[in-house]
Structure formats: C-alpha cells, structure tokens
C-alpha cells in the first residue's frame, strides 16, 4: 500500500507539466503555440514554426548562430524560453527581406563573400542588423568587438567586417545627404 | 532539459510569496546562465518564476545623490545609459568588457550578481564538485585549474566568480537592495558574495525567499581617474584570467582615496582595504602602485596551472592603477594595453 502510493507519487513527479499557450509575432505574423515551458525560443522557431533559418550551433550561448531580433534587439534565442517571450515581436533571417528585395546587410554579405559554409551566416546577419540599430560601431575595431558574439569557424571575419562597414557607411552617407 | 513548472510573478510581493512556497523554485529573467545550467543538468529547479514583467527596470536618482538601478535593467541599457557613462564610467567599461552584445541585451543587473562560476568541473556532472554536490570533493584542486582562484580559496573549492560588472560594483561600494518575507534589506556589496569556506554551494548571503530588487550606486563614481583592465585568453567574449577595477581620487599628484577590486582571482570580487589604505596619501606613481600590488597579493597561492596568475595580477594592478592615474582608461574596443 505504502509502496504503491510512493510509486504513484513518483509517476506524478515525472508527468509533464501542462503545456502553455504562447503568442509570438514572428516576422510580422502572429503565431499561437502550445508549448512545454522548457521550450527555448530557438526550438520554438525551428521545430514548432519550421523556421530553420535560425541555426542551432552550440546551444549554450557561446557561438551566436541562434541570434534573432526580439523587440528589435539581438539576443541568443537558445538561452531564453519561448514562454518568457510571450507577446514579443521576433525577427528571424527569414523576415529581413522586403518585397523580394534582400535586406542591405544580406546583399552586402553576398557582395563581400562574407561566408564560406554559411552555417553561422543567419546569426551573423541578424547580429549585424542589431548592431547597426544600436549605432555604437563607428569603425572597424568597434565592429569587430561588437560582433564578437558571433563565431565563424570558417574564418570569414574580414569579409564580414567589410560587409557591415559598407552598410554603415552607406547609411551614414545617405543620412548626411538628407541633412544637407 | 528536465521538466519544471512555470509561473509568472505579477509583483515583488507575489515573487517572494511564490519562491517561499516552493523551495525548489528559481527566479528567471535574462536566463543567460540559468537556462544553460538547466540544460547541463547542473541545476534542476522544480519551478521557474518569470520575473521579467516586474517594474524593476528604472534607473533613477537616489536620495543621497547616487543612482538606483532596478534589478531588471539590462546590462546593455546600464552600460550605455548617459548617467552611467558620465558618472560611473568604470561600471560602463566593466560591463562592456563582459560577454557579448547579444548576452548583454538579455542579462539583467540582478542576474549578473547571481551568476554561477564557470569552473568546468562545476559544469561537468560526471566529476566531483563540492559546489554542485556538497561533500563530493573538488576536482579542480589537483585537476586543470588554469582559470581558478589564487585568493580566499578553501580546501573545498577554488572556483572564481565570473562577473566583470560585479568587480566594478565592488570597487564603487555599491549596495544590493533586496526584498523578502522579513522585509527589505540593503546589503553592502562586500557582504553580498561569499568565500567558499566549507559551504561552497552557497554563493551569496541572499536568503532563499529573497529577491534582488536593485543596486544602489553611491554618489562618488570616480569618473575622472579609473580603469577596468581585463586580461583573458582571447581579446573578446572570454572570461577573465585576471581583471582589475582601479579608481583613484588624486589631488596635486597625491592619492586621496583609492579603490581596487579584482576579478578572476577569487570566489567573489576581491577587495583589499589594507592595500587601498596604503595608497591613500601616497604619490600617484609606479612605486606605490607596486607596493599596493604586493600587499594585495601577499596571501595569494596558486594550484599549479594557475600559478602564473599571481604575477599576472601584480602587473595588471600596476598597469590599471597607472591607467587610472593618467586618466587613460583601458578601451574596451581597442584592446591594446598601453
């Protein structure tokens, strides 16, 4: 009797907690999901929404391949839970192009051959979009430092820096033209 | 990840009530360390209490002329806040020396204080570790201990505290504001983190039912003569081997007040009042800086692979004090050490 009640308690302990309803606005589209609480934002995007552009590299916040923009800011989607981000605006690499035209950063990565195998590229691109919005990178040294959360094992760093520099300088060029 | 329950706190009082009701529960905000520890099986909370919706996101003037920083202010928002850049540049610099922009966009002020060590034996659940499993032993004592502590160690644990931000907060004499079942507390920064002793599993003096609500910065930010110098195996996105927060008040070439805190060398940000007292009244020059470094490191002890840290710390202290004295703080963009 005592034994079976212990066993029942054990079973109760092992049973999965209830799934939770999570609403995410992903690339402009509202998605309602039913998720276990331990689902990371990364797994919600890749497994539950089929948006596999965002990559799982280390899954420990050390490589940056999972970088997405949440409410406009770049974060590691592997280190947060989808349920914590309930109600948030999420932009992944799939959401950067507008009306069939690549985002300037995407185009610059092509122009500068800023990748080899391409696995880190979606994270690099989302991170670069976040970097430009932050407006703290005013030279190549600063770009390198502020992109240090994205590892590229092929070593395409010099071309990645060149691609980002191009977008920043064109942006500041057009801002200067608007002012004059 | 192991199963856990999830709930959301709607107020500080609600957060305290929820954590008191479930001894296995943990608060989650940025998640940058906790989610990783759960994935690794190092910690297995029964419940995560989401505190990200609490109203603890403001940076405001405090009554004594300092600043009060809410526990949920993001590391990046703190580092780039105009008042922090202007009045507490040592803090801004230390934050920007740590982690990556993505992580700083997630990590919170309160969470940074509660980071756990990055000792690889603590993370490796197949090895003994007194911090993870009290009484199981310390694998680092005679293992790979290049990253480990040289000050304040015990026979039970030689782990280091990983934060950069906390090193600056220690140097600035910040206070940690908390709320719990028995009311609110304001804890001196030096009393917040603990040395390992024979209870290395307990990192801080926070009670189990307490939540950090903010950090208070005293009026003096040492904004003129300061430097945060971080030495590591790669120039960016790596934990410190040794880091130094140096802050000086100088009048006519004489040090009136000195603050010196070290990271990467102990279980908590390391302050040495004797070394600081020795500096006050001394000339702001190489010779007294070297004597202060000697004093601070007089009890330092290596464990083999980390023996080099003693000499590295000595040089980093002298260098950082020199940078502070000449009002040429270490850049966190151009990492060349001058």
> In sequence order, which residues have a C-beta less than 8 Å from that of residue B323 and are 6 or more positions away?
B227, B229, B246, B329, B330, B338
Structural domain count of chain A = 2
Does the structure show a pLDDT above 80 at A8?
A: no
User: Both tokens of residue A109?
Assistant: 């990565």
Domain-terminating residue out of A44, A72, A94: A94
A169 phi and psi angles, rounded to 5 deg: -70, -35
Inter-chain residue contact B101 with A74, CB threshold 8 Å: yes
The CATH number for A143's domain is: 1.10.150.120
User: Which residue is closest to A137 within chain B, CA to CA?
Assistant: B333
Q: Where do runs of H (alpha helix) occur along chain B?
A: 12-21, 34-39, 75-79, 82-87, 89-96, 101-104, 109-113, 120-123, 165-171, 189-192, 273-279, 286-296, 308-325
Tens digits of residue pLDDT in B77-95? 999 999 999 999 999 999 9
The Cβ-side half-sphere exposure at A144, using a 13 Å CA radius, reads: 15
Is residue A78 situated within a structural domain?
yes
Residues in chain B: 338
Please report whether residue B286 resides in a domain: yes
Cβ contact A60–B39 (<8 Å):
yes
Chain B residues with CB-CB distance to A20 below 8 A: 6
What token pair was written down for B276?
A: 């600081």
Q: Given an 8 Å threshold on Cβ–Cβ distance, is A61 in contact with B36?
A: yes
At residue A148, the pLDDT reads: 98
Same domain as A54, residue A89: yes
B153: in domain: no
| A18–chain B nearest CA distance, Å | 8
Is A81 found in the same domain as A16? yes
CB–CB contacts below 8 A, A to B: 93
pLDDT at A180: 57
Chain B residues within 8 A of A38 when measuring between CB atoms: 1-4, 38
Give pLDDT, residue A88.
Answer: 98
Query: Which element (helix H / strand E) includes B250?
Result: strand B242-251
Domain hosting B268: range is: 225-325
In a domain, B320, yes or no: yes
Report which of B43, B53, B107, B163 is spatially closest to residue A61, judged by C-alpha positions.
B107
Q: Is residue B218 included in any domain, yes or no? A: no
Distance from CA of A73 to the nearest CA of B (A): 7
Contact B44, B127 (CB under 8 A): no
List, in sequence order, every beta strand (DSSP E) within B137-224.
175-180, 183-188, 211-217
The domain boundary residue, chosen from A43, A76, A94: A94
Q: What is the DSSP letter of B41?
A: T
Query: Are A117 and A42 within one domain?
Result: no
Whether A99 is in a domain gets the answer no
Q: Give the residue from A94, A115, A143 where a domain finishes.
A: A94
Q: Are residues A50 and A119 in the same domain?
A: no
In a domain? residue B120: no
- Kindly list the residues from chain A whose CB atom is less than 8 angstroms away from the CB atom of residue B43: none
| pLDDT for residue A3 is more than 90 | no
Give domain status of residue A178, yes or no. Answer: no
A window 33-52, beta carbon within 8 A of B: 36-38, 40
Residue A109 and residue A134 in one domain: yes
CATH number at residue B251: 3.30.390.50
Instruction: Nearest by CB to B31, from A81, A134, A149: name it.
Output: A81
A85 and A116 part of one domain: no
Q: Residue A1: its pLDDT value, please?
A: 38
Q: Which residues of B touch A84 (CB under 8 A)?
A: 28, 31, 50, 52
A18 & A90 share domain = yes
- Residue A133 shares a structural domain with residue A109: yes
Nearest CA in chain A to B79: A136
Residue of A nearest to B100 (CA): A149
In this structure, of A16-25, A144-153, B55-64, the range with the lowest mean pLDDT score is A16-25
- CA B52 to chain A, closest CA, distance in angstroms equals 8
**Residues forming a β-bridge with A67:** A76
Residues A109, A86 within the same domain? no
Contacting residues of A for B28, CB less than 8 Å apart: 81, 84
DSSP states of B70-96 as a string? ETT-BHHHHHT-HHHHHH-HHHHHHHH
Token pair listed for B211:
């939540």
Residue appearing with tokens 């296995």? B24
User: A109 and A83, same structural domain?
Assistant: no
Task: Name the burial class of residue A64, with classes exposed (0-12), middle (13-18) and buried (19+) by CB atoms within 10 angstroms of its CB.
Answer: buried
Q: Is residue B229 part of a domain?
A: yes
Contact A17 B100 (CB under 8 A): no
With a threshold of 0.90, tell me whether the complex ipTM lies above it: yes
Report chain A residues whose CB lies below 8 A from the CB of B106: 75-76, 79-80
pLDDT at residue B181, rounded to an integer: 97
Residue A5 counted as domain residue = no
pTM of the model: 0.96
> pLDDT class for A9, splitting at 50, 70, 90?
low
Query: At a CB cut-off of 8 Å and minimum separation 6, what does B62 contact?
Result: B68, B216, B217
Q: Are B120 and B129 in contact (CB under 8 A)?
A: no
Nearest CB among A17, A20, A149 relative to B100 is that of A149
pLDDT computed for residue B306 by the predictor:
98
Same domain, A65 and A109: no
Decide if B106 is inside a domain: no
Q: Are residues A145 and A72 in the same domain?
A: no
Tell me, yes or no, whether A30 lies in a domain: yes
Which residues in chain A have Cβ-Cβ distances shorter than 8 Å to B30?
79-80
Q: How many domains does chain B have?
A: 2
- DSSP code at position B150: S
User: What CATH code is carried by the domain that includes residue A49?
Assistant: 3.10.20.30
Is the CB of residue B178 less than 8 Å from the CB of residue B205?
A: no
All residue ranges of chain B with pLDDT < 50 are none
Whether B332 maps to a domain, the answer reads no
Question: For a pLDDT cut of 90, what percent of chain A falls above it?
Answer: 84
Q: Quick: pLDDT tens for A59-94.
A: 999 999 999 999 999 999 999 999 999 999 999 999
Residue in the block written with tokens 């040089």: B315
Query: Which domain does A132 fall in, by range?
Result: 104-173
CATH of the domain at B11: 3.30.43
């Amino acid at each position: 009797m005592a034994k079976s009640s212990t066993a029942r308690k054990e079973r109760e302990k092992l049973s999965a907690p209830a799934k939770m309803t999570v609403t995410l606005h992903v690339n402009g589209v509202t998605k309602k999901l039913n998720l276990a609480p331990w689902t990371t934002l990364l797994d919600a995007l890749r497994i539950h929404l089929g948006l596999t552009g965002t990559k799982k590299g280390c899954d420990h916040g050390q490589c940056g391949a999972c970088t997405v923009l949440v409410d406009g800011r770049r974060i590691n989607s592997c280190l947060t839970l989808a349920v914590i981000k309930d109600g948030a605006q999420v932009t992944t690499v799939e959401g950067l192009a507008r009306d069939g035209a690549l985002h300037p950063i995407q185009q610059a990565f092509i122009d500068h051959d800023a990748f080899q195998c391409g696995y880190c590229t979606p994270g690099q691109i989302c991170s670069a979009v976040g970097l430009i919005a932050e407006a703290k990178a005013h030279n190549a040294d600063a770009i390198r430092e502020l992109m240090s959360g994205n590892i590229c094992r092929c070593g395409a760093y010099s071309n990645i820096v060149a691609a980002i520099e191009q977008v920043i300088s064109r942006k500041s060029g057009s801002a200067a033209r608007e002012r004059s | 990840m192991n199963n856990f329950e999830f709930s959301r706190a709607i107020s500080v009082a609600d957060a305290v009530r929820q954590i008191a009701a479930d001894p296995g529960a943990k608060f989650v905000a940025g998640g940058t360390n906790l989610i990783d520890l759960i994935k690794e099986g190092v910690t297995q909370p029964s419940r995560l209490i989401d505190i990200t919706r609490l109203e603890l996101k403001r940076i405001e003037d405090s009554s004594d002329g300092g600043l009060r920083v809410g526990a949920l202010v993001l590391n990046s928002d703190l580092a780039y806040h105009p008042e922090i850049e202007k009045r507490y540049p040592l803090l801004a610099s230390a934050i920007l020396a740590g982690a990556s922009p993505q992580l700083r966009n997630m990590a919170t002020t309160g969470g940074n204080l509660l980071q756990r060590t990055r000792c690889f034996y603590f993370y490796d659940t197949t090895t003994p570790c007194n911090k993870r499993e009290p009484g199981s032993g310390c694998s680092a004592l005679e293992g790979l201990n290049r990253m480990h502590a040289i000050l304040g160690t015990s026979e039970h644990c030689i782990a280091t505290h990983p934060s950069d931000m906390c090193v600056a907060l220690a140097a600035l004499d910040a206070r940690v504001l908390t709320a719990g079942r028995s009311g609110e507390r304001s804890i001196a920064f030096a009393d917040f983190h603990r040395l390992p002793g024979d209870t290395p599993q307990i990192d801080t003096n926070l009670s189990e039912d307490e939540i950090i609500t903010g950090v208070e910065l005293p009026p003096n930010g040492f904004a003129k003569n300061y430097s945060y110098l971080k030495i590591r195996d790669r120039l960016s996105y790596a934990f410190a081997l040794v880091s130094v927060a140096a802050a000086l008040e100088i009048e006519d070439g004489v040090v009136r007040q000195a603050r010196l805190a070290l990271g990467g060398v102990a279980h908590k940000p390391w302050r040495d009042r004797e070394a600081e007292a020795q500096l006050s009244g001394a000339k702001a020059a190489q010779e007294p800086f070297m004597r202060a470094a000697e004093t601070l490191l007089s009890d330092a002890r290596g464990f083999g692979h980390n023996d080099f840290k003693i000499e590295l710390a000595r040089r980093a202290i002298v260098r950082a004090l020199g940078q502070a004295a000449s009002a040429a703080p270490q850049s966190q963009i151009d990492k060349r050490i001058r």
